[in-house]
Amino acid sequence: MERVKLTLPLDRAAVAGLRAGDLVLLSGPVFTARDAAHKRMVEALDRGEELPFPLDGQTIYYVGPCPAPPGRPVGSAGPTTSGRMDRYAPKLLRLGLLGMIGKGKRTEEVRQAIVDAGAVYFGATGGAGALIATCVESAEVVAYEDLGTEAVRRMVVKDLPAVVLIDPTGADLYRIGRERWRIPG
pLDDT for res 177? 82
CB-based contact 63:40 (threshold 8 Å):
no
In a domain, 68, yes or no: yes
Q: What is the pLDDT of residue 82?
A: 97
Q: CB-based contacts of 130: which residues, under 8 Å, 6+ apart?
A: 76, 78
Report residues of the chain scoring pLDDT below 50: none
* Cβ neighbours around 31 below 10 Å, total: 24
pLDDT in tens, 56-82: 999 999 999 999 999 999 999 999 999
- pLDDT computed for residue 178 by the predictor: 79
Domain count, the chain: 1
pTM summary value: 0.95
Q: Does residue 185 form part of some domain? A: no
Q: Give me the pLDDT at residue 185, please.
A: 63
**Residue 94 belongs to some domain of the structure:** yes
70 domain residue, yes or no: yes
Sign of the CA dihedral 139, 28, 24, 96? positive
What is the residue range of 84's domain? 4-180
DSSP string of 16-49? HT--TT-EEEEEEEEEE--HHHHHHHHHHHHTTP
E-state strands within 70-183: 99-102, 120-123, 136-143, 152-166
Query: Is 97 within a domain?
Result: yes
Structural domain contains residue 81: yes
Backbone angles phi and psi of 60, in degrees to 5: -105, 130
> Is there a domain that residue 74 lies in?
yes
Whether residue 124 lies inside any domain: the answer is yes
- CATH code for the domain of 91: 3.20.130.10
